[in-house]
Amino acid sequence: MDDKNKIITRFEATDDAPQSISTQHGEIACYSNRSPHKTDITHNKNAVNEDALGIIPIAADTTVLVIADGLGGMPAGEQASQIMIECLMSALNNTGIVVREAILNSIDKAHKTILDLKINAGTTVSIVELTGHKLRTYHAGDSSILLITNHGNIKYQTLFHSPVGYALACGVLNQEQAMRHPERNFISNYVGCAGLYVTMSGIIELDPNDTIMLASDGLTDNLYDKEICTFMRHGSLLEGTKELISQCNKNMHESRPDRLCHPDDLTLIAFRQHT
Q: Which pLDDT band holds residue 11 (cuts at 50, 70, 90)?
A: very high
Positive or negative CA dihedral for 199, 249, 70, 9? positive
Condensed to tens digits (0 to 9), the pLDDT of residues 195-253 reads 999 999 999 999 989 999 999 999 999 999 999 999 998 789 999 999 999 999 999 98
**194/63 Cα distance (integer angstroms):** 30
Condensed to tens digits (0 to 9), the pLDDT of residues 114-164 reads 999 999 999 999 999 999 999 999 999 999 999 999 999 999 999 999 888
80, part of any domain: yes
Domain count, the chain: 1
Strands 204-205 vs 211-215: parallel, antiparallel or unpaired = unpaired
Which of the residue ranges 175-179, 184-188, 257-261, 263-267 has the most confident prediction, judged by mean pLDDT? 263-267
203, part of any domain: yes
124, part of any domain: yes
Residue 10 has a pLDDT of 97
Once rounded to an integer, what is the mean pLDDT over residues 247-262?
A: 84
74, part of any domain: yes
The CATH number of the domain where 153 resides is what?
A: 3.60.40.10
Once rounded to an integer, what is the mean pLDDT over residues 9-36?
A: 94
1, part of any domain: no
162, part of any domain: yes
Once rounded to an integer, what is the mean pLDDT over residues 10-25?
A: 93
- Long-range own/partner contacts, residues 221-225 (CB < 8 A, 24 or more apart): 221/179, 221/184, 221/185, 221/261, 221/262, 221/264, 222/248, 222/251, 222/252, 222/259, 222/261, 222/262, 222/264, 223/247, 223/248, 223/251, 224/175, 224/176, 224/179, 224/259, 225/146, 225/154, 225/157, 225/175
Residue 44 has a pLDDT of 59
**30/108 Cα distance (integer angstroms):** 26
Condensed to tens digits (0 to 9), the pLDDT of residues 39-95 reads 654 555 568 999 999 999 998 889 999 999 999 878 899 999 999 999 999 999 987
Residue 41 has a pLDDT of 47
231, part of any domain: yes
Give the domain range for residue 95. 8-273
Once rounded to an integer, what is the mean pLDDT over residues 13-24?
A: 93
198, part of any domain: yes
